[in-house]
Amino acid sequence: MDDPTIVAKEPRFRGDGEALRRILIVRLGAMGDVLHAIPAVDLVRHALPQCEIGWVIERRWTPLLCANGFSMAGETSPERPLTNTVHVVDTRAWRKSLLSSATFREFSSATKHIRERHYDLALDFQGSIKSAVLAKLSGADSIVGFEQPREYVASMLYSHKVSTSLAHVVDQNFTLARYAVGDALAPPRTLLPIDSVAESWVSMRLAELGISRFAILAPTAGWKAKEWPSSSFGVVATELSKRGVASLINFGPGEESAAEEVRAASKGVAVPFACDLSQLIALTRRAALFIGGDTGPMHLAASLNVPVVALFGPTDPVRNGPYTARAKVLRSARSLTSYSHVARNDEGLVSITPEEVIAAAVELLSTGSNVWAKRSRE
């Protein structure tokens, strides 16, 4: 029997000696975590081009894998570049009505659809109890996860466990992928869908605003300690405007007040820009710069090779920083690493000055244009 903590040097085979035919990826969310898993899954796609890849993901994050309105299954395409099948679940909605017949029917239908694909191998990149349960219910012949998952109970459902001492989440995910593909190498890429409707909408909206070169400002985060002050964002937007760079404020549902605070602090220079996830992908592709904290939109910008000024407080950039060379990470020595969701500002993060951010932004803006924007003009 295989050593459960040894990563394969050669691609894995099924029990009957045939090459793996179908692999299931389990990474339900959130946005940044899905983006951190995509390069590893792309490695699997690169190393095993004939293998069918399925992915279980929360409904709200499906635009990261498949364009809105496009088929969730079939041959890969620009609209669904990475996976053959997207298996959609909605655990957040299910938890709200856990004992209802509707939840039972939706859960049963989702797991039945996964089992029907007859996966040879399931890779659990999430390491939670719910992700491990879904991997188990898939009926895959082998279930592989990290030796030290986020929730220990998850490891009890794995048939094989992979250990890693690597720091960054993306590198950890590569280690898990190599259980299936061995020592295969490929350049780290993040393949995201091209949603033609979203692309057209963003182009039209930018034209209406008369904006061409712009930065995306992201003042909100998963919890308060990861948020840089709105007043500081306002100062940065004002200075960028003097350099011919507009500022668009990214915000989500319920975050309107934060966007308004930045707009007011910039005296109207920064413009709130409401959009859904598909539109955010299209918008970010066109950005000259992104400024924000440890959030999904920041990792989206880094994944799309957009220059990033990343503002870190309690979370560790060595583990969670932008996985790109086109980034400047700012973090005060006063910030202590903690992943507790505290509802107060991090003193170290607040101490980062607008002048420091502006200097980092100017340096990045001077080193080259946005790759997508350049390509779209050719």
CB burial string 167-180: b at 16+ within 10 A, e below = ebbbbbbbbbbbbb
The H or E element spanning position 200 is helix 196-209
Closest CA to 38 of 170, 163, 195, 172: 170
What is the C-alpha separation between 309 and 237, in angstroms, rounded?
13
> For 196-377, CATH number?
3.40.50.2000
| Tokens (6 digits) for 341 | 């969701």
pLDDT of residue 339: 86
Q: What is the C-alpha separation between 365 and 363, in angstroms, rounded?
A: 6
Q: If we measure between CA atoms, which residue out of 45, 16, 186, 67 comes closest to residue 123? A: 45
In this structure, what is the dihedral angle of CA atoms 189, 327, 273, 34, given to the nearest 10 degrees?
40
Confidence (pLDDT) at 43: 95
22-181 shares its CATH topology with 196-377? yes
The 3-state secondary structure of 82-119, one letter per residue = CCCEEEEECHHHHHHCCCCHHHHHHHHHHHHHHHCCCC
pLDDT at 223: 86
CATH T-level fold of 22-181: Rossmann fold (3.40.50)
Domain residue ranges in the chain: 22-181, 196-377
- Give the pLDDT score at 17: 54
**Cα angle, residue 184 at apex, residues 178 and 186 outer, rounded to 5°:** 105
How high is the pLDDT of residue 16?
57
Strand partners, 63: none
State the pLDDT at residue 377. 33
- Give pTM, 2 decimals: 0.92
Token look-up 């466990």 returns 161
- Give me the tens of pLDDT residue by residue for the chain, a chain 378 residues long: 344 444 666 667 666 557 799 999 999 999 999 999 999 999 999 999 999 999 999 999 999 999 999 999 999 999 999 999 999 999 989 988 888 999 999 999 999 999 999 999 999 999 999 999 999 999 999 999 999 999 999 999 999 999 999 999 999 999 999 999 998 887 778 899 999 999 999 999 999 999 999 999 999 998 899 999 999 999 999 999 999 999 999 999 999 999 999 999 999 999 999 999 999 999 999 999 999 999 999 999 999 999 999 999 999 999 999 998 899 999 999 999 998 788 888 999 999 999 999 999 999 999 855 544 433 333
Reading the block at residue 227, the tokens are: 């948020």
Q: How many Cβ atoms from other residues are within 10 Å of residue 261's Cβ?
A: 17
